Amino acid sequence: MTSEKPADEAASGKTRSKSKRKPPSGGGDAGNKSVVLDAELTANKIKTDQRFSAIKTKILDVGNEWISKCKLVALVSGEPVTSGDVYRVLTQLRIKSALSTLSKTLSGNSTDFLTTGSNPVKYELTAAAQQAFEKWLADA
């Protein structure tokens, strides 16, 4: 088996090097500069919230209640969150979760959230969803 080279390579005895692609630079929407939420600070805000006993009973201690956990992080942080932000906060709270589960939960419940950007999508509770969530949390 012979290797055929283009005429200019064969004449010079040199081979062309493959072009090197630049690695992606953080990806995503250029207009959506992703600022990572401080997971430790947000977890501590949850732990020191005056409603913590209700939060623990209704949300943190309930397995597979992912939408409530996502809403809690969005509520306490006071800013739009990504599924990665929620994952990091839950990890700080020692709650095991899968990032894919949180991502599917947020996208599947998008009527409760305002969304911005793409890759990563940021989610912010709508006023109605926030009010309903706070009322549900306050009800004993």
Show the domains of the chain with their CATH numbers: 36-138 (1.10.10.10)
- Residue 90: name the closest of 110, 106, 70, 105 by CA: 70
| Phi, psi torsion values for 42, nearest 5 degrees | -65, -40
For the stretch 9-62, pLDDT in tens is: 555 566 655 545 444 444 444 444 557 899 999 999 999 999 999 999 999 999
Q: What is the pLDDT of residue 35?
A: 74
Q: What is the pLDDT of residue 66?
A: 97
Q: What is the pLDDT of residue 22?
A: 47
Stretch among 1-5, 49-53, 63-67 having the lowest mean pLDDT? 1-5
Q: How much is the CA Rg of the chain, to the nearest whole Å? A: 23
pLDDT over threshold 90, residue 109: yes
Is residue 138 within 8 Å of 54, Cβ to Cβ? Answer: yes
Q: What is the pLDDT of residue 28?
A: 43
Give the mean pLDDT of the chain.
84
Q: What is the pLDDT of residue 44?
A: 97
